[in-house]
Amino acid sequence: MGISGYAFLDYGPNFTVNDMNGLTTKQFLVISIEQGENPTVCVNDHMRHSYQDGDHVKFVEVEGMTELNSVGPVEIFEIQEYSFKLKLNTSGFGAYTRQGIVEDVKIRK
């Protein structure tokens, strides 16, 4: 093939990827969080979030619904421009009052 070529590598079914996209994690300000099964989380409407279905997020500095600060990475789905849903039941958590930051987390796949 001359001085250029190509290679195919098959690492098999046990190969894990630590970083699917190579991008740095992003943080967004939380505006509201519902209580209940699969709650909707809304972020600041001045900046669209860049999350995708199947991403995992963590929360810090959330006031009111403080239980969310200690929950491990939570998968998200039903992505909208300024909101997404959590695969989590928050009906037993306190009511969200204000503040908080959401950040995506790299999960091994």
Which pLDDT band holds residue 3 (cuts at 50, 70, 90)? confident
Is residue 78, in this structure, part of any structural domain at all?
yes
Is residue 12, in this structure, part of any structural domain at all?
no
User: Could you say which DSSP state residue 1 is in?
Assistant: -
Is residue 37, in this structure, part of any structural domain at all?
yes
* Domain ranges, residue 63: 27-105
Is residue 50, in this structure, part of any structural domain at all?
yes
64-97 pLDDT tens trace = 999 999 998 999 999 999 999 999 999 999 999 9
**Which CATH number does the domain housing residue 78 bear?**
2.40.30.180
CA distances from 68 to 6, 22, 25, 99, 104 (A): 47, 27, 19, 12, 14
Provide the number of structural domains found in the chain.
1
pTM, full prediction: 0.79
29-69 pLDDT tens trace = 999 999 999 999 999 878 788 888 999 999 999 999 999 99
Sequence-distant (6+) residues with CB within 8 A of 101 are 27, 28, 29, 30, 59, 60, 61, 62
Is residue 72, in this structure, part of any structural domain at all?
yes
Is residue 62, in this structure, part of any structural domain at all?
yes
Is residue 34, in this structure, part of any structural domain at all?
yes
